[in-house]
Amino acid sequence: MSEESNPKVFSNRWADAVGPSGQGSPRDHCGCIENGSRTQLPTSFHPERQDTTAPGWIRLLELVEEAAADGREVFVPLVELTTEQRRQVITLPPTIAKLTSVKHLVLYGSNLVRIPPEIGAMKSLEEFSPYTSYRLHWFPYELTRCPDLRRSTVSTRALYGNYKRRPPFPPLPATPTGLQDSDLENLDPGVWGAAEVRTCGVCDRRIQGANLRQVWISLRTSGADVLPLLVNACSTACVDALPVPADGYVQMPHTGGPSVSQPPAGPQSRPSVTSAAPTPPATP
């Protein structure tokens, strides 16, 4: 066999990001985003709540504290969990705000359905890799607070509004005039996208219950990927202060639902990678 006929072998860049094998799958099945020729149905948030008594969650809390204490620059927590433990983790703890030295966060093959807004406190973050986390369809707007974020590896086909399929964004609740401050600490994640909302993603001020405004916006948060971001804002003024969305996506903040008109799907609608990075959120 000639050298030219030998198949080229590529190295697996994620070999060190895969946790130990075990019985069962480390991820639950997700059918939110349709692939192939099947008709895309309306979407909704994953309603699961994190079980804070699960061994996987408790171990993750320990790993975050260890990483914060030793100031490590690369954090790959899931390799320290068993298959069963990885399946138990559907979000990250708010304590990731302590990881101010981490430059690369690797969440390869996770079972996550949401990322907490505290990721915005990871000021040194340069690379974000939740690749093959197929149940992770959106990200918090606070991700734009990471000023050095320049690289990401995301399974874009699993994202709301991705240019390949244009799956609809989940509809967001109408202006919650009857929502009380205490209600923001015990929300239905299947409706609001999170179990609690405390501060404005734009100005960082405390949100009063009746003033909560939620919108979707698609922004280029790194060098390659346009991500669907959920904004929890404290006022209409903060919504108006949001940056211009990425080219090739809905050109205004919106409240989701199948009625939102998106650009046509397909390679011809792929946005230019030269779009400007979003302006970091204002601080009070």
Write down the mean pLDDT value for the chain.
89
pTM: 0.88
**Residue 175 — very low, low, confident or very high, per pLDDT cuts 50/70/90?**
confident
pLDDT one-digit tens code per residue, 106-165: 999 999 999 999 999 999 999 999 999 999 999 999 999 999 999 999 999 999 999 999
Q: Report the relative pairing of strands 139-140 and 213-220 from DSSP bridges.
A: unpaired
Residue type, 206: R
The whole-number pLDDT of residue 103 equals 98
**Residue 271 — very low, low, confident or very high, per pLDDT cuts 50/70/90?**
low
* CB-neighbour burial class of residue 124 (10 A; exposed 0-12, middle 13-18, buried 19+): middle
The whole-number pLDDT of residue 273 equals 57
Provide the 3-class DSSP secondary structure of residue 21: coil
pLDDT one-digit tens code per residue, 11-59: 455 556 666 666 678 889 999 998 877 888 999 999 999 999 999 999 9
**Domain segments of the chain as ranges:** 15-261
Phi then psi dihedrals of residue 219, to 5 deg: -135, 155
The whole-number pLDDT of residue 284 equals 45
The whole-number pLDDT of residue 281 equals 54
pLDDT one-digit tens code per residue, 240-255: 999 999 999 999 999 9
**Residue of 275, 269, 274, 231 lying closest to 253 (CA atoms):** 231
The whole-number pLDDT of residue 67 equals 98
Q: Would you say residue 81 has pLDDT above 60?
A: yes
Q: What is the DSSP letter of 17?
A: G
Determine the Cα angle at 139 with ends 185 and 42, to 5°. 90
